[in-house]
Chain A
Amino acid sequence: MDIIGFLVETGFWMATIRMATPLVFGTLGELVCERAGVLNLGIEGIMAAGCMGGWMWVYQGGSLWGGVVFAAVIGVIFGLVHSLFTVYLGLSQHVTGLGITMLGSSLSAFVFRMLLPKATTPPKIIPFHSLDIPLLRDIPFLGEVLFSQSALTFVALAAVVLVAFVLFKTPLGLALRMVGENPLAVEAQGLDVFLLRTLAVCAGSAMMAVGGAFLTLSAFDAYYIGMVNGRGWICIALVVFSSWKPYKALAGCLLFAAFDAVQMRVQQQAGMAIPYQFYLMLPYVCSIVALIIMSRKAAYPKALLIPFRKGER
């Protein structure tokens, strides 16, 4: 078993970046929601809905990019529902989030079964192909690792830059961050707390849904029920790990995916010396460990989980 050996392999890095992509979308989406003071536990269900919706769009004859947009629209709809409950009514963000997750997961399973009742083996689509740009592709190592990825991976990287820019360099971002720290101060500035939070939750949920769509439109070519498989919950852990900062979130996702890729490799090479179930546990255990390490100094947005009601303080 040669760990150093495959750290210099292109295959390992290709796998890492591919596995990090849905996490980047999900983590960024959750980060934007939490920065505005709303915990979105609906992430697992919203990813499932984007996963199924995007796939179904393409399966019914739509284009791949159309599928991505459709997934984003689904995300916005779930975001609107979540903000109605948490922002306007101020219900418990924990329980409504879980409700959204249940709704998103069960509705996507239901719709899939209704549209394709007889599908025993998952029907396939032609997913995004790798970019394969001439010249760039020929750069040793880096070219192979980066330009073997699909376009959605580059969208994810662009989203990191965009979210960081909007949050920290624009007045809108300042308002969004303030609304997660001190909504009263935002109201005193004459800004609409409800609108800002809704905006953040919808934008965040759209990113989560696109992260789900990446699974069916790029990483795999079929949809099967339960394929999000806890990735959403891992994103929530990664947000804490990143201290609510976009670039750190990207680094966290890459680190996490690299770890995942290592465990898959080790699993293949070590064979059955350690049962495979223990390797599969590692992502979840690592998330918990990451939470333990980072939570000590975690600077949660101060208004996170606290509903804002006019005239109440």
Chain B
Amino acid sequence: MEAIKIMRLEIRENRSFLRLIAALFIAVGFAMAVCSVLILWGGASPVEGWMLMFKGALGSRFAVSETLTRATPLIFTGLAAAVAFRAKLWNIGGEGQFYVGACMAVFLGTRGETLPAIVMIPWLFTAGALAGGLFLLVPTFLKTRLNVDEVVTTLLLNFVVLLFVNWLVFGPWKDPMAMGWPQSAPVVDTAMLPVLMAKTRFHLGFIIAVVSAVFVWWFMAYTTWGFEIRAVGSSITASTFAGMPVGATIVRTALISGGLAAMAGVSELCGVKGYLTTDLSPGFGYTGIVVAMLGALNPLGVIAGALFVAMIYIGADSMSRAINISNYIADVTTAVSLLSVLVALFLTTYRIRRG
């Protein structure tokens, strides 16, 4: 306790970009060091383990394609979290909004209409994003009008949406052709995102995700609305005082954030499986929060964060097979990365002084 008592935090005068990048790398390295203990416990050498993970994620053409495919929904959900968190709108409902988008894609994509792909795909993304954005408006209005904490409401709605999807795929949307499996009918061929690399699952969604990230970066940095979102996030009082439309800004943030998370659902549904199941997302909505923090809430940083997390997940699968260790190591590594990145980001703004 004595050591802590004489510790003092001091705001740094300058935040350099290089220090930020260095801090992020140190944090991720620290997380890997901590998780090395778990690999040691599994009876393998950590160096070998991380090498296997790296090879499993990037070691072959197929591995790279799998990593990029996995990163695609994470870029969208990471952007969703980054935009919302910038405005201090704590949208933890990315998982639910993901499924809202996926449902919309199935709803519109299985009606047998044969629009050409060039119309069909933008249409599904637009409709999905709109549905996801409107869905997030419900907890947002509860927050702004009735003072209901959005963290809990968005979280609880994830469970509601997942149960709803469960009902859909076991009930009215169940595909009679699926040999009894609980899944929806597949979307029409023109709704499927084209594959970018032959014989892999790597699809157009990745390009759409990267373009979205660049657009969101531009939007946040160079438009009035983007500035307002950041201003509301740093101080609601100051924004109100400056005459900014705080309410409208929060609504806009919700529409964008919910929309981006829903686009993850559309992209994953139309890019990978083609039909709806209850395990379409292995927690992309929650992992998006880690991705956003790894990217320091910067839309371009989100791309890097998503690639890193995707590498961990894809690599962990092959590592766990090779050295016989549970593949939950991927979840532990991302969780520890999140926590150490939080500290690292903190240390770029504050320095710890003695006395």
Contacts and interface: CB of A to CB of B under 8 A. Distances in A.
Q: Which of B85, B159, B170, B342 has the most CB of A within 10 A?
A: B159
A295 B149 contact: yes
Given A91-B343, A95-B293, A284-B156, A102 B4 contact: no
Contacts of A194: 4
A292 B146 contact: yes
Contact of A275 (B7, B8, B155, B171): B171
Contacts of A295: 142, 146-149
Interface string A262-301: 0000000000000101101100110110011001101000
Interface in A237-262: 237, 240
B157 A284 contact: yes
A63 interface: no
Q: Give the interface SS of chain A, mostly helix, strand, loop or mixed.
A: helix
B146 A99 contact: no
A109 interface: yes
A106 B313 CA distance: 13
Contact of A310 (B8, B159, B329): B8
B157 A288 contact: yes
A98 B155 CA distance: 11
A217 B329 CA distance: 26
Interface in B114-166: 142, 146-149, 151-153, 155-157, 159-160, 163-164, 166
Nearest to A94: B90
Contacts of B4: 88, 194
A114 to B, nearest CB: 5
B148 A110 contact: no
B51 interface: no
A168 interface: no
B328 A110 contact: yes
A103 interface: yes
A98 B222 CA distance: 31
Contacts of A234: 156
A110 B38 contact: yes
A288 B142 CA distance: 10
A277 B290 contact: no
A205 interface: no
A181 B181 CA distance: 54
B282 to A, nearest CB: 12
A136 to B, nearest CB: 38
Q: Which of A91, A284, A298 has the most CB of B within 10 A?
A: A284
Contacts of B338: 95, 98-99, 102
Contact of A287 (B7, B147, B156, B324): B156
B334 A291 contact: no
A230 interface: yes
Interface residues of B, number: 49
Interface in B298-339: 324-326, 328-329, 331-332, 334-336, 338-339
B301 to A, nearest CB: 15
Contacts of A110: 38, 326, 328-329, 331-332
B142 A292 contact: yes
A113 B328 contact: yes
Interface string B1-13: 1001001110000
A292 B152 contact: no
A277 B159 CA distance: 11
Contacts of A92: 342
B164 A277 contact: yes
A277 B163 contact: yes
Contacts of A287: 152, 156
B159 A230 contact: yes
B152 A85 contact: no
A90 B350 CA distance: 11
A292 B152 CA distance: 11
Contact of A296 (B146, B324, B332): B146
Contacts of B90: 94
Contacts of A230: 155-156, 159
Nearest to B352: A89
A103 B152 contact: no
Nearest to B292: A95
A102 B334 CA distance: 8
A40 to B, nearest CB: 12
Q: Which of A100, A110, A234 has the most CB of B within 10 A?
A: A110
A310 B284 CA distance: 38
B227 interface: no
Contacts of A206: none
B219 interface: no
A192 to B, nearest CB: 8
Contacts of B85: 95
Contact of A103 (B42, B153, B332): B332
Nearest to B10: A311
A113 B329 CA distance: 10
Contacts of B170: 275, 277
Contact of B1 (A106, A195, A277): A195
A233 B156 contact: yes
Contacts of B153: 288, 291
19 contacts: A88-B7, A91-B343, A92-B342, A94-B151, A95-B293, A98-B92, A102-B290, A103-B332, A106-B332, A114-B42, A194-B4, A230-B159, A233-B152, A277-B164, A281-B159, A288-B152, A288-B153, A291-B142, A295-B149
* 9 closest residue pairs by CB, A with B: A106-B331, A113-B326, A102-B335, A110-B328, A277-B167, A103-B335, A295-B148, A284-B156, A99-B338
Interface of B: 1, 4, 7-9, 38, 41-42, 85, 90, 92, 142, 146-149, 151-153, 155-157, 159-160, 163-164, 166-167, 170-171, 286, 289-290, 293, 324-326, 328-329, 331-332, 334-336, 338-339, 342-343, 346
Given A236-B151, A295-B142, 6 more contacts: A88-B7, A90-B9, A102-B334, A114-B38, A281-B159, A292-B148
